[in-house]
């Protein structure tokens, strides 16, 4: 999802989450569900908030 980027802004991250989810399931997520998904990923440590509106993928890929 992060590709070549080490960090993504909030808006870019939501766009990429939406694209990845749609590609996997064939169903789009709306804004509220995307925010819930982001909170889940943050709680599980899969995505780390680096600062105000900046996010990065956890270097520990074994979740």
Residue 42 has pLDDT above 80, yes or no: yes
Residue 29 has pLDDT above 60, yes or no: yes
Domain boundaries, the chain: 8-56
| Separation CA 15–CA 5 (nearest Å) | 14
How large is the average pLDDT for residues 35-52? 93
Could you tell me which residues come within 8 angstroms of residue 20 by beta carbon, excluding any fewer than 6 positions away?
1
What's the confidence (pLDDT) of residue 17?
92
What integer best gives the mean pLDDT of the chain? 86
**Full-model pTM:** 0.77
What's the confidence (pLDDT) of residue 1?
55
């Amino acid at each position: 999802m992060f590709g070549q980027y080490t960090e993504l802004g909030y808006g870019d991250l939501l766009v990429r989450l939406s694209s990845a989810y749609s590609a996997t399931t064939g169903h789009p997520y709306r804004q509220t569900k995307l925010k819930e998904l982001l909170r889940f990923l943050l709680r599980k440590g899969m995505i780390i908030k680096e600062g105000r509106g900046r996010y990065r993928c956890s270097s520990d890929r074994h979740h």
